[in-house]
Chain A
């Protein structure tokens, strides 16, 4: 079946360091979405990328969609304690069913 692989599974960074999580699909995606889940909370939509090579920014967060539309990354610059949580990518393979990655759990060391 269609799968979206996400790495790393866990990431521990010092406050102020950068953080990156990566998603890969073996087949071309229609679009990719990113969600954040705070501890004890539910996933909340962050952004959607649709175009090949697209780059979007939200303050300290930078999202990229690969040229082949098979991979994506989320980069956080200068992490803060409010960035703690699990970040999920979710790929759309042409229908309306999203396939979620396994998530990257980010913890911040003060």
Chain B
């Protein structure tokens, strides 16, 4: 079974703090993604990565950065957390699932609250 894990399920940080969200996948997938999920807005792509040390901006990259030093690990960084970054953060990796489908596998999510 593909496994995508995230470092924390719940996180509370103060405004201005630097926040690291870690994601690890065990399927040797090349592509990894960070989304945030907010009510009524669905999943919005923050950043993605096609390979080690490679990153691409998604639809809402402002206020975020990422790091991909190893293939299995993709980190999301909030340089200076703000209250509007309170959200559910979902990491995903993609690969073929053996039936010809190209599928995204999601981690359990990190619910971040910035106070």
A residues in contact (CB < 8 Å) with B? 1, 6, 9, 31, 33, 35, 41-45, 47-48, 88, 90, 92, 96-103
Contacts and interface: CB of A to CB of B under 8 A. Distances in A.
Contacts of B50: 96
B102 A48 contact: yes
Given A42-B106, A102-B41, 14 more contacts: A1-B59, A6-B42, A33-B101, A33-B103, A42-B90, A45-B101, A45-B104, A48-B102, A88-B42, A88-B43, A96-B94, A97-B48, A97-B58, A98-B45
B64 interface: no
A102 B45 contact: no
Interface of B: 31, 33, 35, 40-45, 48, 50, 56, 58-59, 90, 94, 97, 101-109
A92 B103 CA distance: 11
B111 to A, nearest CB: 10
A97 B34 CA distance: 11
Contact of B103 (A42, A45, A99, A103): A45
Contacts of A45: 97, 101, 103-105
A41 B111 CA distance: 12
Nearest to B105: A45
A55 to B, nearest CB: 16
29 contacts: A6-B42, A31-B102, A33-B103, A41-B108, A42-B90, A42-B106, A42-B108, A43-B43, A43-B90, A43-B104, A43-B106, A44-B106, A45-B103, A45-B104, A45-B105, A48-B101, A48-B102, A48-B103, A88-B43, A96-B94, A97-B48, A97-B58, A98-B45, A98-B104, A100-B35, A100-B45, A102-B40, A102-B41, A103-B43
Given A1-B59, A9-B40, A33-B103, A97 B45 contact: yes
Contacts of A9: 40
Contacts of A44: 106
Contacts of A90: 104
Nearest to A44: B106
A1 B59 CA distance: 8
